[in-house]
Structure 1
């Protein structure tokens, strides 16, 4: 495969030599020379000295990914096969766990090749492609996955821009097609997975450890509010963990049927729970007027959300949303504050928490923190890849409670 030379500005050379994987437009002196996504690129210094190899593929702010610092390495089937072999080998204990049959086996740059992920759902694999550039190598990835696993079937989702229009297409690519839904287990709890209904499959696997902690430690006997509830995953774990009642709130109409399905799969009478299709921001106002209070509140909004009357950005608005949450949380109650926004770090996120409580004249105590689970491998050179930030916060009356 013919390689294209990319000249890196001198001030960014050290960054790439230290292992930073995202090829950014502003670092390239000859970016106008890039034409075809999927082209293998050689990053070189202004004096033509080799830095690394990667591929050209437009994804969010990036122009592609660095995938090797070995000048002699060829980007071919054996390269992808080796990366997938190592990734699958690292997840060996997950394959052996009969109580958890859904997990990630390849996490982009965390496993050595940015731009795609692969998830496992009880014998079926789902590949998410995030650029036309990485999709150029699809045959290598699919063939390697077929040879390295004993999977039943492989599905894919294309989640990238196509001629100026963002697309999300899914399709079956190999093996035996699944009967939907695929019923998987996560720590013994059942979920319904749909690989043929767009980008969302039914559960976000990155919250596995958080859900287990809620089940094991925080749910028993509690009134639980799950906001931005999607398919009710947190509510299901809370109910299985002995919550006295759960309330799930999400604006999407499909959240009702999906949440009912998950309760039913776990032998829980959904009619004993509250499932509300409503704008979460409006629900906070309603709960405040009715003086509703909850013992445990899960606050896990998307990075960006839009309703008829409100636009939400986690980077700008999380603090105010948290203040609304604090107002309807019981004294000594717990808020599971979570965000998947990659544009700020845990320190800044804790700053939002501190500001929210301070502005309300309330005290708090941080009980525990979570980042991405073990199967969502990340690298220290790319902090943005470790996007998940979850903090269990206990509300207290005493504003002098130690802050962090």
Structure 2
């Protein structure tokens, strides 16, 4: 039995403990989907449909989060990654996103794949003030913090890439006549807009033909025939993996040998060049910002060995030649950095604040490439390197460049 002085000391200690507990609790600020032990993250990905080749990105990111969870999570919290198939269909993306936000109660949406699909939920997520982070698309509109403060891209913008390709043509191709194949949506049009912007007054003279395709088209053969017949000696291929592989096959079948420029979203040995034929893909020029896992010099680096060990342990069924598995690995690390910086303030508002306060490098980026954002700069990556496929792997043919260089 406690009496007098002992009882008073016990009550004081209890009060102190209570205040301490309340203070510690007050330091924690949680948004939807967050507890002391978990953080719920939402994602849509085309595991089926015309862009299913990209599905491995979602699987790679899930595998990286599994690694983080196995190591104890982030500040003691495990990532609960809920990734749903949208088939690269905007109506399905709307349905799945609403399910994740309104039923699953995720803290944020992360790495949704595709320009048309993300466009379908762009306004909705900003209206609901749900972070739409590091979308797997380079559309320029993902970097408009004044208009859409809850959306941020990740990879270099398509317009930036289109401008860099235009510079390559101006610097390296004499008497260029450019033919363009592009997907008929914001993704494809962004690339074309970027190229035309950089060509400036010469655009109308240098671009001799443009052909578009729909994602529902079975093939793009007729478009390739028209582009060849235009007399183009430069072919700018703005297509997702399925159609990029078709384009490569058809170009070679027609015995057409233009300077072949391939957008980075389809610069993959495993997902595009192998299906199209390695010999058919020889001499294709692209741009990249992270290491190619098929390159012998990459495989000698500590960064690659670390990535390969992770693949073997956490994603053993994944293709070691597929660059999209590097993409998912790198993108996931960017989100992990944001969550680490957020600490115990895991509100949606603070997530966006930390996403706009990044400055770091990641293993498997090319030298000179880094993640850097600010409150007015929602484009995390802006440098790229020109490469040419030699029949086995992309080989560098220049330094990392950006529009300010």
| TM-score grouping bracket, smaller chain normalisation | 0.3 to 0.5
* Larger RCO: 1 or 2 (CA < 8 Å, sep 6+): 2
Alignment TM-score, normalising by the size of structure 2: 0.37
Alignment TM-score, normalising by the size of structure 1: 0.37
Higher Cα radius of gyration: 2
- Return the structure number with greater strand share: 1
- Return the structure number with greater helix share: 2
